Amino acid sequence: MKPITKSGALLHRVAEGGRTPVSFVLNGQPLKALAGDTVLTAVLTHGAQLRFSEFSGEARAGFCLMGACQDCWVATESGQRLRACGTFIEEGMRLVTGAEGPV
C-alpha cells in the first residue's frame, strides 16, 4: 500500500479550521482530524482512497457523500464497517482502508 502522505490528500480544508483536533489511526499511522469531521473527511484530508473495488481492485474514495452510492465503506481494525460519509470521526478510532470485506 502507498504511504498516506499529506501531498496525497484528496480533500482540502478551505474553512472551519478552528475546531478541536481529534487523534485517530489510519493503517497504523497516527493522524489528526478535527471534531465534526466525517470519517471520509478525516481519511481523505490525508490520503486518496477509502477502499478498493472487490472486482478491479482499484482505489475508491466515495462518490456522493450523501449515503446514496454506498462507495465509501471503511473498516476499523476490529473489523467493524463504517460508511465513511455518514460517520463522524472519534478520538482514538483505528481505521484500515481496503480491508472492509463484503457488505
Partner 1 sequence: MKLQAVIVGAGPAGVRAAQTLAAHGVRPVVVDEAPRWGGQIYRQPPPGFTRAKETLYGFEAARADAVHSAMAGILDKIDYRPDTLVWSAEGSQLDLLAQGQMRTLPYSHLIVATGATDRVLPFPGWTLPGVYTLGAAQVALKFQGCAIGSRVVFAGTGPLLYLIAYQYAKAGAKVAAVLDTASFAGKAAAAPAMLGQPALFAKGLYYLGWLRLHGIPVHQGVELTHATGDERVQAMHWRKAGREHHIDCDGVGFGYALRPETQLPDLLGCRFRYDTLQRGALPERDAAGRSSVTGVYLAGDGAGIMGADAAEWAGERAALALLADAGKTIDAARAASLESRLAGIASFRHGLERAFPFPAGWAAAAPDELVVCRCEEITAGELRRCVADTGAREMNRLKALTRVGMGRCQGRTCGVAAAEILAHACAAQPDAVGRLRGQSPIKPLPFSAIVAAAVKQEAA
**Minimal distance in Å, beta carbon 102 to partner 1?**
9
- Residue 64 is a binding residue for partner 1 (CB under 8 A): yes
Binding mask 15-34 for partner 1 (x = CB under 8 A): xxxxxx--------------
Cβ contact 22:90 at 8 Å? yes
Using the minimum distance from each CB to partner 1, give the nearer residue, 8 or 28.
Answer: 8
81 binds partner 1 (CB under 8 A): yes
Beta-strand relationship, 94-96 and 29-34: unpaired
CA 95, distance to chain mean position in Å, is: 7
Question: Coil, strand, or helix at residue 54?
Answer: coil
Residue 18: name the closest of 35, 1, 40 by CA. 35
48 in contact with partner 1 (CB under 8 A): yes
Cell digits of residue 6: 499529506
Asked if 71 touches partner 1 (CB under 8 A), the answer is: yes
Three cell numbers, residue 81? 464497517
Residues that bind partner 1 (CB under 8 A): 2, 8, 10-20, 35-38, 41, 45, 48-49, 53, 55-56, 58-71, 81, 85-86, 88, 103
